[in-house]
Amino acid sequence: MRKFASCVLLLISVVAAPQQKPKAEHSVAAARPSTAAAPANAALPSEETVNGFLQQMFGYDSSVTWRIADIHPAKAESLAQIDLILSNQQGQQPTTLYITADGQHALVGDLIPFGADPFAPVREQLKKNVNGVTRGPENSPVTIVEFSDLQCPHCKEAQPTVEKLVADEPNAHFVFQQFPLPSHDWAAKAASFADCIGRSNPDAFWKFVNATYNAQSEITQANADEKLTGLVESSGAKGSDVAACAAKPDTKSRIDKSIQLGKDVDVTGTPALFVNGRKTANVKGIPYEILKNIVEFDAKQGK
């Protein structure tokens, strides 16, 4: 019972944590959500309406800001989806709201397929389409897929947790997928370097990933080629060969495929971790023992 209660509290904290301390960076007047009916994804709330709702919800506290990333139809009929970035002193948290067709209710979090195995569709999609560097036995009953951005400070912060999980669960199959964010100016280049070093020297790849995270503050758009080539060399691979590979169109195609896969499984920010299709978007916010329990639970299920 205690384990169940802790999992419930964890789910609530992951979904609602950013809402505990909110501020708005918008100066939109506090407006009530629209009450107009929206037939089956035909009508979407306006940005002004969304900002008004958020102001009503969070305007009491000036310590959190938000940015609306997108408003679009959800995959489920009669729902509108709103992708947000909520920020406070602790960092940024991607958050999704689903608005019902009547405009009267908002659901927070992820839409999860309902069934005996709700994670099966995502698990199968990942199994068929991952193209990242792997470690651990391919026939493992547990596959851990991480979508990461080498320029992302949250990915750097989460890396020790991910490394510990992989070390503690050596029988799990781990896949590192590139997901450079468009807001980061050298992340796509770093992803191309990583993809190339991973294909030619998988052992050096993991050293390169950690070295790039550690050098984030030293790398800029202007010096990225020089810095990344040097990190390749220090990781045990030939820098000039990897740099030449990174500039090829087929490497960009591989990165684009990885980004598209992430979007297809609803990755909205990095890092995003999938354990047998079960998504965890707040790696640092989840107690490590819970992550470990998820891996061990799925291993026992033999999926």
Tokens of residue 129, six digits = 């389409």
Burial of 89 (0-12, 13-18, 19+ CB in 10 A): exposed
Read off φ and ψ for residue 287, nearest 5 degrees: -55, 135
Asked if 183 contacts 153 with a C-beta cutoff of 8 angstroms, the reply is no
Tokens of residue 219, six digits = 């790398």
pLDDT at residue 1, as a whole number? 34
Read off the DSSP letter of residue 204: H
Other beta carbons within 10 Å of 73: 16
pLDDT digits (tens, 9 = 90+) for 34-64: 333 444 554 899 999 999 888 877 777 678 7
Burial of 148 (0-12, 13-18, 19+ CB in 10 A): buried
Domain 120-301 sits in CATH at: 3.40.30.10
In the chain, CATH 3.40.30.10 covers 120-301
Q: From first to last of its 303 residues, what are the pLDDT tens digits of the chain? A: 333 333 333 333 333 333 333 333 433 233 333 333 444 554 899 999 999 888 877 777 678 789 999 999 998 888 999 999 888 777 778 889 999 888 888 888 877 778 888 899 999 999 999 999 999 999 999 999 999 999 999 999 999 999 999 999 999 999 999 999 999 999 999 999 999 999 999 999 999 999 999 999 999 999 999 999 999 999 999 999 999 999 999 999 999 999 999 999 989 899 999 999 999 888 988 899 999 999 999 998 875
pLDDT at residue 61, as a whole number? 67
State how far the alpha carbon of 124 is from the alpha carbons of 43, 96, 156, in Å: 32, 23, 28
pLDDT at residue 167, as a whole number? 95
pLDDT at residue 42, as a whole number? 47
